[in-house]
Chains A and B, each alone.
Chain A
């Protein structure tokens, strides 16, 4: 049997020497906690959008407007957006740390990663809350039925 040296052997000794607190531990816990919640949110999302009713054939502007007319789906989608983006970004960060060995490469990849995080989370959040289900000057047959009521 081969003997594998303990990881971080240099840090062995009494007590633990780390300069960065417990952030990696919190990240590890977050991946698991968010995973459980995401399972419910995403399976619900896929069921309502792809399985129930006419499935994907029914998706259009009116369908989305109908869903976001209700705070229930606004909150659902907002939570899903934030949790999935934090979970996914942290997961990809781990993967970058694993494979990108040069400091410069890691830096560039992570900057791109964090920039996409900010753009997507800010854009997605704004869209959920500033969405207008009945935009003026749009043909009524593209809008949800409650616009003309």
Chain B
């Protein structure tokens, strides 16, 4: 039976305990970033379905649209929106990381470093977004 083709080795982790097989996936950062990418992708998709439906109310009447969008401004929904923005920001930055792993010749070697870069950019972006959004949601007019 043919064996699997050579996998990209992650060269980090000197002698310390190694996950079997030195694969990008199984157990460590590579796997958890994939899990998070999947969960955020599904979450965004379901929100998108709802979001197109609520926006469609502009076709019904100004009153109907304003009533529904009004519910998006209450604090509970405001926190939900913050969570959705966080999901999108992670998915977007990690998506770029996936592409670099696929297309950049050194991508597989630096996949783990790039995940930390993704998380760093995520923190910076959310630090810019959250105060402003929460101010609008909780600050009243």
Chains A and B form a bound pair: yes
Interface residues of A (CB under 8 A from B): 1-6, 9, 12, 32, 35-36, 38-39, 42-43, 46, 50-51, 54-57, 59-62, 64-65, 81, 84-85, 88-89, 91-92, 95, 116, 120, 123-124, 126-127, 130-131, 135, 138-139, 142-143
The answer to whether residues A59 and B48 also contact, given A64-B55, A64-B58, A123-B56 and a CB cut-off of 8 A, is: no
* Pairs of residues from A and B, 6 with the lowest C-beta to C-beta distance, nearest first: A61-B62, A55-B136, A88-B45, A142-B62, A124-B52, A4-B4
Contact across chains for B56 and A35 when beta carbons are under 8 A apart: no
Interface residues of B (CB under 8 A from A): 1-5, 20-21, 38, 41-42, 44-45, 48-49, 52-53, 55-56, 58-59, 61-63, 65-66, 69, 72-73, 78, 81, 85, 88, 92, 95-96, 98-99, 102, 129, 132-133, 135-137, 141
Query: Nearest chain B CB to A25's CB is how many angstroms away?
Result: 12
Residues from chain A with a CB closer than 8 A to the CB of B2 are: 5-6, 9, 12
Contact across chains for A123 and B52 when beta carbons are under 8 A apart: yes
Contact across chains for B69 and A60 when beta carbons are under 8 A apart: yes
Chain A's closest residue to B137 (CB) is A56
